[in-house]
């Protein structure tokens, strides 16, 4: 089995395309479930955020799995495959592990070092667990990624400035409003994680008024109470535009929250500046709002234009070294896990040999008393265990070597181990240049990726 990730993010696609790829209303769960129909895919986990959609999978056939993931993603989102593939990237094995660890650490985020991604990875794992699409491999990988992300944020200063998509967006909004949010009248649309963070940051910045509008009134009321604001029904949003300086919207809905006509009508009798911050994918507001007099519209594309150098270079370097260390540890553990069935089978084979010799001894020496027989048995097992200790330990160490599979195969053949037993144990145990997706889809069948020799470094799309 091979670990594979096929994805698209703000680094490879324009925000307009990410907008169309947004998985809402159970789209992530549907995608993960549909992928299990593929004969090449054993486990799936889908990470969908405001600036990325990534499919992590345990697969048996590399090329076939890439084709199936791409086609299923296209079908689920409605984006034609030919339009989608130029923006997709593929990574596998070591590089796939490294990628998720970097994502969870905020090293691949639109705003370097942001922490919201940790919660999004946790939600993706929970969804995969509840949908029974993630098995042991992806559970272990995601849990490790969460631990690595926490370690990076704890051991480095990569997020000391509290940088996030929300905080950067609010910083841009403050600049458009004269340099400060203090004393501003604000409207937050939505009550999810990003909206909650926005409301909290607005409160800390000294906003005079914070109004929260949400489709579920009780959730909006809960958030409003937490920040000393007030809650309103979602339908009241257009009527409130005349009396606010800033609107922050992030609902995750499929329809528009604000149209250009609604904003125009609400602002007819005022010349005061209005800033609309749209952090949703798909967008909550019409892009043409930005063309109205006195109105500034900021979206994820604007946030993406902010330099990522906000995090100190030393902290970024330390974060990357931590990720590299953790990748090595995880890959070694994963490799050792793969050879474990052969090691177990070898020990079981040795135990059978010992037991057969003990049976012969009992037949040849029927008068041997029980204490003596037990001592002989202990001596035999101790000798066999001592002889096998170094080879089995070394086998796990060599599993991370490029030739590790050949060593395992040699051990298998030298001791004539039962292949069916190893297969059963494996099943129980499982209970830089990457190719572009376009190249893979238009190339020939690659077969199992186990034949590759470059440890998962096949370039970016």
Catalytic residues: 50
Residue 381's nearest CA partner among 410, 413, 356 is 356
d(CA 158, CA 170): 19
345 and 425 in contact (C-beta within 8 Å)?
yes
In degrees, rounded to 5, the angle at the alpha carbon of residue 109 between the alpha carbons of residues 449 and 138 is 40
> Would you say 240 and 188 are in contact if contact means Cβ atoms under 8 Å apart?
no
Burial class (CB in 10 A: 0-12, 13-18, 19+), 364: exposed
- Select from 81, 78, 101, 87 the least CA-distant residue to 8: 87
DSSP character string of 241-276: GGG-SEEEE----SS-SB-HHHHHHHTTT--S-EEE
Cα-based distances in Å from 326 to 2, 44, 99, 332, 387: 19, 22, 12, 10, 32
Select from 338, 358, 457 the least CA-distant residue to 409.
Answer: 338
- Between helix 62-77 and helix 27-35 the angle, nearest 10°, is 150
Bridge-based pairing of strands 52-59 and 2-9 is antiparallel
Distance CA 59, CA 93 (A): 11
- Name the packing angle between helices 313-364 and 136-155 (round to 10°): 140
């Amino acid at each position: 089995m091979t670990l594979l990730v096929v994805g698209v993010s703000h680094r490879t696609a324009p925000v307009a395309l990410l907008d169309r790829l947004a998985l809402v209303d159970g789209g992530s769960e549907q995608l993960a479930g549909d992928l299990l129909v593929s004969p090449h895919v054993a486990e799936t986990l889908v990470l969908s955020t405001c600036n990325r959609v990534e499919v992590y999978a345990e697969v048996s056939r590399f090329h076939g799995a890439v084709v199936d993931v791409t086609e299923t993603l296209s079908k689920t989102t409605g984006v034609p495959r030919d339009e989608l593939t130029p923006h997709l990237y593929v990574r596998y094995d070591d590089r796939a592990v490294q990628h998720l660890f970097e994502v969870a650490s905020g090293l691949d985020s639109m705003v370097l070092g942001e922490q919201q991604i940790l919660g999004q990875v946790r939600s993706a794992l929970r969804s995969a667990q509840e949908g029974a699409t993630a098995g042991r491999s992806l559970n272990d990988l995601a849990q490790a990624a969460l631990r690595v992300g926490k370690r990076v944020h704890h051991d480095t200063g990569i997020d000391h400035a509290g940088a996030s998509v929300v905080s950067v967006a609010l910083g841009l909004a403050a600049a458009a409003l004269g340099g400060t949010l203090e004393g501003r009248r604000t409207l937050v649309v939505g009550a999810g994680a990003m909206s909650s963070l926005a409301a909290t940051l607005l409160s800390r910045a000294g906003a005079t008024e914070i109004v929260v509008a949400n489709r579920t009134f009780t959730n909006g009321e809960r958030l409003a109470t937490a920040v000393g604001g007030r809650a309103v029904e979602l339908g009241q949003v257009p009527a409130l535009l005349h009396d606010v300086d800033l609107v922050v919207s992030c609902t995750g809905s499929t329809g528009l929250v604000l149209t250009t006509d609604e904003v125009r009508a609400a602002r007819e009798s005022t010349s005061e500046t209005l800033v609309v911050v749209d952090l949703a994918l798909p967008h909550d507001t019409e892009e043409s709002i930005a063309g109205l007099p006195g109105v500034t519209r900021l979206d994820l594309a604007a946030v993406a234009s902010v330099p990522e150098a906000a995090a100190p270079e030393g902290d970024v370097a330390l974060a990357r070294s931590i990720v590299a260390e953790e990748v090595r540890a995880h890959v070694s553990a994963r490799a050792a896990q793969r050879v474990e069935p052969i090691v177990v089978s070898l020990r079981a084979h040795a135990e059978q040999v010992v037991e057969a010799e003990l049976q012969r001894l009992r037949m040849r020496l029927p008068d041997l008393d029980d204490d003596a027989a037990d001592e002989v048995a202990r001596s035999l097992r101790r000798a066999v265990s001592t002889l096998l200790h170094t080879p089995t330990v070394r086998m796990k160490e060599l599993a991370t070597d490029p030739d590790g599979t050949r060593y395992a195969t040699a051990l298998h053949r030298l001791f004539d181990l039962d292949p069916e037993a190893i297969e059963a144990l494996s099943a129980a145990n499982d209970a830089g240049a990457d190719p572009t997706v376009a190249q893979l889809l238009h190339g020939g069948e690659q077969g199992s990726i186990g034949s590759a020799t470059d440890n998962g470094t096949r370039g970016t799309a």
